[in-house]
Chain A
Amino acid sequence: MRKLACFVLAVALGGGLALGAEKGKITIWADDTRTPVFQAVGELYTLATGIPVEVVQISFGDIRGQFTTAAPAGAGPDIIIGAHDWVGELAASGLLAQIRLPAALAAQFDRVTLEAFTYGVLYGLPYAREGIALVYNKKLVPTPPKTWAELLAMARKLTDPTKPQYGFVVQNPDPYHSFPFLSAKGGYIFGVKDGKLNPCDVGLDSAGAIAGAKVLDALFEEGLLPAGLGWDTWTSLFAQGRIGMVITGPWAIGIARGGGIDVGVAPIPTIDGGVPKPFVGVQGVMVSAYSPNLALVEDFLFNFFATYSTMMALYKKDPRIPAFLPVYDAVKDDPILRGFAESIANGVPMPNIPQMSAVWGAWYDAMALIGDQTKEPAVALKEAADKIRATLQCK
């Protein structure tokens, strides 16, 4: 009856509201890439158990917002796909259900990816991970540099702004892409206390972060890197073969190939012996706290989702680095995939706590003013960190 009333409501209001979960049926919200895979797995599940599975296609960018409104109203799904950095916000608002993953199954997932979905307790099951690495144009850079000194030497040789051609670029201002620099010498965003990220310990102005930012700053100072190098600019230069090396993610591979550029992928060179730790982004599924089907969902996820065949199907639809180790082992011979995997093996999950929203803006501002040489790294990062501390109101 409730569903009928909901339906009438939806029709009456002419709304395109996706129908929510109901007891005895699993409802999944997935994006266009993953919908077919979940539909196929859902059919298998229905065949085995007699329980229907409905997959609703929603664009990835809309899932979080719609879920936030729909779940408390009883119109949300049982399962959503999403990114790990949604976890803090959704769990803090009470919208996610804990997942009690059996130890034997947990061992089959990459450790960092499970850590990424943990906010106090585990709130998601990952399927893919991604992050940034050193992507290089093989024609300009035959062998990738191992250390920062090697990288600088190559960059100096290749850079000629009048052509224009750049030996090495990294998008700036962009906190995400600057984190490998900041982390290489021990810089961090939030400290860890009792196994949890501690929002009262902001490390943006720690000695390591400042030392790392100086390395980036030196590139601008020397003129190796133009200020305000945006996405549009560097991607078109890269596709024209005018960039030797760039710190970027898998999304740039297609752009390079579109320009006929043969690229290789390697870990980001060590900076004075320090290993850069890029942010790792993880994608997976999360369970609604409002799901009336928690037992079904657990059964479905453990026995039909966390399996070799499903994870392989997800990989084939969208070849990102699998979080499920048996599938990763099967596909790791792909040199591009392995390059990124090796790079993010050093990485840390992007903080998933909701306090991160106070960090991005100030951090971005600091990187912008470092990039255009208005402020010294030590000053800029100190100012940013102080502003963040003031916002977070940690006593």
Chain B
Amino acid sequence: MRRIPAVGTWAKGGLLALLDALVVFWCVLFAWDGRWAFLALTAGGALLLNALLLSRRAYPFRYLAPGLLFLGLMVVYPMGYTVYISFTNYATGNLLPKREAIRLLTEREIVPDPPRRFPFTGYGTPGSLYALYLRGEGEDYVLFPDGRLSAPQNHRLVFSDGVPESVDGYPQLLGRDLFPLVAQLQGRRIPYREGWLRLATLREFGFYLPQYRYDPAADTLVDQATGKVYTPREGRFVAPDGEALDPGWVETVGLANYVRFFRDPLYHGAFVRVFLWNVAWAVLSVAFSFALGLALALLLNDRGLRLRKVYRSLLIVPYALPAFISVLIWRAFFNQELGLFNQTLFSWFGVKVPWLQNVFWARFSLILTNVWLTYPYMMLVSLGALQSIPGELYEAAKVDGAGSWRRFTHVTFPLLMISVSPLLIGSFAFTFNNFTLIWLLTRGEPVVEIGSRAGATDILLSYAYKLAFEGARGNEWSMASALAVLIFLIVILVSGVSFARTRALEEVSRGL
């Protein structure tokens, strides 16, 4: 049977055709510019899109594709990139590819002593430069925009006041007519004696000597003034006397960052301490907020309670407020001199609690704040799960003579855990890496140890962040990536074990 395509199909086809036309246009531009990676990516993406929309067999993938695309873009790509960076030396001073570093170093100039300058005048027609006339105190040149230097006697020059009025019949250009044309000569280096001439200002050329020359055969850099030879070592050019040149370059270093983590006490010294607190922090936060959330859910689930809806709405408020704002408000509450808590405590009992200054209280404050932030989630989840427990189970329990506590421990709680425990593991993993809360409330403080960079409330992630940006020499992104990979492995391990445990719970439910 032949089907007549609907208007929608025509519109779809039209849009796709338009998109394809645009892609072809972009690809031409990319090819022109020599950006082959982008070309491949754009063309490949477009082909895939066409295949998805036109092929009948790919129909189910139409709905999966956006999800997969974003998964790739936002999860897989950053992860892969992090792993890659952790195997390099990417850090302050080592940001560029090697050829770029060599280019920058070999372009370093020394101004000869005495400096030589060539004031110039320009000739041509507006919009097009014919030549420049360089005056070098008895050593004049005619310079063409393509970089050719020529002796004045080869050209027709009409002088007035020592400056040519015209060159080869082209009149002199001045000011705004000249400068934009001259600006196009920037970056051009005209070989001259043992160095080069280049545009120094809008009115002068200067003579410069190279500071370094690169020897591609030996892969060494030679200082032209001192003759010092620099050889590549650990991503930089280093002289025999230990002097290292900036900038260095990016290179892969294998497992060096990981080895350094296990070798250098600076990195692993505080690791165990931080790890233990991190686990305690995640477990206690989740346990307390779940306990509170569940208790409230049980209360709200009681049909005898009046104004249930009002309570429920009010209890969700902490969840609805942006954590960024509420955490800062909590921080103000905890302020030792002026905070709400201490002012109240001081006026009632005459005590001031060092909320964020003392190790115990800082941890206590963090968990308190986090419980406040997360119990509504736990409450919502438990409310849902409670409703799914069949009522006849309670009746059966009642018949068997179970009291309300026994009904809770033997019926409600085990059944609840079946549906809630995967969410608890998710909460655990999230809390384990809850950088935002730690950073906003305590920044990992109070300090317990000098120079370890890990405060009493630092979690692994905030610890890694501090290590990354308090490196020996600026930022150590490669080291931070290695730490991130290690933390990732730990979280995977913890979550994996927990999920294996919940599978056991599921088996219990299957037995029912």
Contact = CB atoms under 8 A, between A and B. Distances in A.
Q: Do A and B come from one complex?
A: yes
Interface string B80-117: 00000000000011111000110010000001000000
A92 interface: yes
A94 B96 contact: yes
B33 A72 contact: no
B32 A365 contact: no
Nearest to A65: B475
B117 to A, nearest CB: 12
Interface string A46-69: 001111000000000000000010
Contacts of B312: none
A104 interface: no
Contacts of A393: 472
B450 A366 contact: yes
Interface in B243-295: 246-247, 266
Contact of A369 (B179, B247, B447, B473): B447
Contacts of A233: 335-338
B175 interface: yes
A362 B450 contact: yes
A23 B184 contact: yes
A358 B452 CA distance: 11
Mostly, the B contact residues are: loop
Given A357-B474, A365-B450, A369-B450, A50 B187 contact: no
Interface string A14-33: 00000000011000000000
Interface string B319-343: 0000000000001100111100000
A392 B451 CA distance: 12
Interface stretch (B64-72, B132-140, B195-203, B488-496): B195-203
Interface stretch (B300-308, B381-389, B463-471, B498-506): B463-471
A93 interface: yes
B183 A24 contact: yes
A392 B337 CA distance: 38
B132 to A, nearest CB: 13
A383 B180 CA distance: 59
A171 B201 CA distance: 48
B393 to A, nearest CB: 53
A232 B339 CA distance: 10
Interface in A1-46: 1-2, 4-5, 8-9, 12, 23-24
A292 B175 contact: no
A236 B176 contact: no
A322 to B, nearest CB: 25
A1 B96 CA distance: 24
Interface residues of A, number: 67
A23 B179 CA distance: 12
Interface in A196-252: 226-230, 232-233, 236-237
Contacts of A100: 111
Given A49-B175, A357-B471, A1 B32 contact: yes
Interface in B454-485: 466, 469-475
Nearest to B33: A5
Contacts of A51: 179-180, 183
Mostly, the A contact residues are: helix
B190 to A, nearest CB: 13
Interface stretch (A148-156, A295-303, A334-342): A295-303
Contacts of B180: 24, 49-51
B125 interface: no
B221 interface: no
A296 B474 contact: no
B246 A92 contact: yes
Given A355-B472, A365-B451, A94 B336 contact: no
A92 B93 contact: yes
Contacts of A4: 29
Interface string B230-250: 000000000000000011000
A23 B187 contact: yes
A176 interface: no
A320 to B, nearest CB: 26
Contact of B96 (A72, A354, A372): A72
Interface in B12-31: 26, 29-30
Given A93-B95, A302-B201, A383-B451, 11 more contacts: A5-B35, A23-B183, A92-B93, A93-B247, A93-B474, A226-B337, A232-B331, A237-B338, A295-B198, A354-B92, A365-B450
* Leading 5 A-B pairs by shortest Cβ distance: A387-B451, A94-B247, A50-B176, A362-B451, A354-B474
Interface of A: 1-2, 4-5, 8-9, 12, 23-24, 48-51, 68, 72, 88-89, 91-95, 100, 164, 173, 226-230, 232-233, 236-237, 289, 292-296, 298-299, 302, 354-355, 357-358, 360-362, 364-366, 368-369, 372, 375, 380, 383-384, 386-388, 390-393
